[in-house]
Amino acid sequence: MKQIISTNKAPQAIGPYSQAIKTDNLIFCSGQIPLCADGTLVEGNIEEQTKQVINNLQSILKAANSGLDKIVKVTIYLIDLNDFQTVNQIYGSYFTQNPPARATIQVSALPKGAKIEIEAIALA
pLDDT tens figures, 93-119? 999 999 999 999 999 999 999 999 999
10-14, 54-58, 119-123: segment of lowest average pLDDT: 10-14
Other CB atoms closer than 10 Å to residue 50's CB: what's the count?
Answer: 27
Task: Tell whether the model's pLDDT for residue 49 goes beyond 90.
Answer: yes
The domain tally of the chain equals 1
Domain of 50, CATH number, reads: 3.30.1330.40
Mean of the pLDDT values across residues 70-92?
A: 98
Q: What is the mean pLDDT of the chain?
A: 97
Q: Containing domain of residue 10, as a range? A: 3-123
**Residue 42: what pLDDT?**
96
Distance CA 62, CA 65 (A): 5
The residues facing 118 across adjacent strands are 32, 76
Q: What residues contact 6, with CB distance under 8 A and at least 6 apart?
A: 12, 18, 19, 20, 63
Mean of the pLDDT values across residues 60-82?
A: 98
pTM: 0.96
Distance CA 2, CA 68 (A): 21
% of the chain with per-residue pLDDT over 70: 100
Task: Tell whether the model's pLDDT for residue 31 goes beyond 90.
Answer: yes
**Residue 70: what pLDDT?**
98
Distance CA 90, CA 12 (A): 24
